[in-house]
């Protein structure tokens, strides 16, 4: 199985921590040059130092930018006009009762979770498709969520944004017919990242329970259909992302692939 990505340039959005950082490490270990993105130069520098320490010989670039608006996305595409691999990973989430989600909340989650990927895909996919014949090659992955299928009652706006990503990925894949470019989405389930404790604390506050209780309820009440009955690690999610970026995944296109621990039962 050919997992070598030498000579390929990958952009992983939101790669200063969590799933994005794990994916960036995985791609670097497969030989790709990786562009690290986060909102601040400090966070980007720290992530690059972390990856350089973990992956010997990693070739890394930094692109500090807020991708929630056109100017931020434009600054990245200007600095790096073409990439071979784009991972639309940037995303925000947090519990909020449906009746409390304001118009501003809806717009904000749309701008960062949906439009960042739309803008970058619109730009980079054209470059991937531009080469003739066998020379065109590319991989685009939207890091969506099983929440786009099993919409969480406490994060309806988030579920909406994750469902939208799947639709956009499939729609964009339609432009790749007959080429060596693929566009897929990956659907993680609950994944333990640096931000998970703060997320659990917010859930506990909203429900008037302890953080320990909020954690215990994660798989008894919120995600009871999980077959693994635990959080995935960021690396477990990154493994699927990295495989899909490889040459070995050349026949998987326009798909929504789950790494959700079995939460979604029999979707279709």
Site for ligand NAD, rule CB under 6 A: 14-20, 37-39, 43, 66-68, 89-93, 112, 143, 145, 188, 190-191, 193-195
- Which is closer to ligand NAD, CB of 67 or CB of 83? 67
Contact indicator for 88, 140 with CB cutoff of 8 Å: yes
Closest approach of Cβ 23 to ligand NAD, in Å?
9
Closest approach of Cβ 174 to ligand NAD, in Å?
23
Contact indicator for 191, 231 with CB cutoff of 8 Å: yes
Quick check: is 231 catalytic? no
Of the candidates 23, 15, 124, the residue with the CA atom closest to the CA atom of residue 73: 124
Closest approach of Cβ 226 to ligand NAD, in Å?
12
Of the candidates 114, 119, 196, the residue with the CA atom closest to the CA atom of residue 159: 114
- Which is closer to ligand NAD, CB of 113 or CB of 180? 113
- Which is closer to ligand NAD, CB of 30 or CB of 67? 67
Helix segments in the chain, DSSP class H: 18-29, 41-54, 70-79, 103-109, 116-130, 156-173, 196-207, 211-217, 234-245
Residue 128 CB burial class (10 angstroms; 0-12, 13-18, ≥19): buried
Closest approach of Cβ 14 to ligand NAD, in Å?
2
- Which is closer to ligand NAD, CB of 24 or CB of 125? 24
Q: What is the DSSP letter of 86?
A: E
The length of the chain in residues reads 268
Closest approach of Cβ 26 to ligand NAD, in Å?
13
Residue 6 CB burial class (10 angstroms; 0-12, 13-18, ≥19): exposed
Residues serving a catalytic function are: 158
């Amino acid at each position: 199985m050919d997992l070598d990505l030498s000579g390929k340039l990958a952009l992983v959005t939101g790669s200063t921590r969590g799933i994005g950082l794990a994916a960036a490490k995985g791609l670097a270990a497969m030989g790709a040059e990786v562009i690290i993105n986060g909102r601040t130069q400090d966070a980007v520098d720290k992530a690059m130092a972390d990856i350089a320490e973990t992956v010997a010989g990693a070739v890394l670039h930094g692109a500090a930018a807020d991708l929630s608006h056109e100017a931020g996305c434009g600054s990245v595409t200007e600095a790096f006009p073409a990439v071979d691999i784009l991972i639309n990973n940037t995303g925000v989430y947090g519990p909020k009762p449906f009746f409390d989600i304001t118009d501003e909340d809806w717009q904000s989650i749309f701008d960062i979770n949906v439009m960042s990927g739309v803008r970058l895909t619109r730009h980079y996919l054209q470059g991937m498709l531009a080469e003739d014949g066998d020379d065109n090659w590319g991989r685009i992955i939207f890091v969506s969520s099983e929440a786009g299928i099993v919409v969480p009652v406490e994060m309806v706006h988030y579920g909406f944004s994750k469902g939208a990503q799947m639709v956009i990925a499939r729609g964009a894949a339609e432009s790749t017919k007959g080429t060596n470019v693929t566009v897929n989405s990956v659907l993680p389930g609950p994944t333990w990242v640096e931000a998970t404790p703060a997320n659990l604390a917010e859930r506990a506050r909203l429900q008037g329970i302890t953080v320990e209780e909020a954690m215990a309820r994660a798989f008894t009440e919120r995600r009871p259909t999980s077959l693994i009955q635990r959080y995935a690690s960021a690396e477990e999610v990154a493994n699927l992302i990295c495989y899909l970026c490889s040459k070995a995944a050349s026949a998987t296109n326009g798909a929504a692939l789950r790494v959700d621990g079995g939460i979604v039962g029999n979707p279709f």
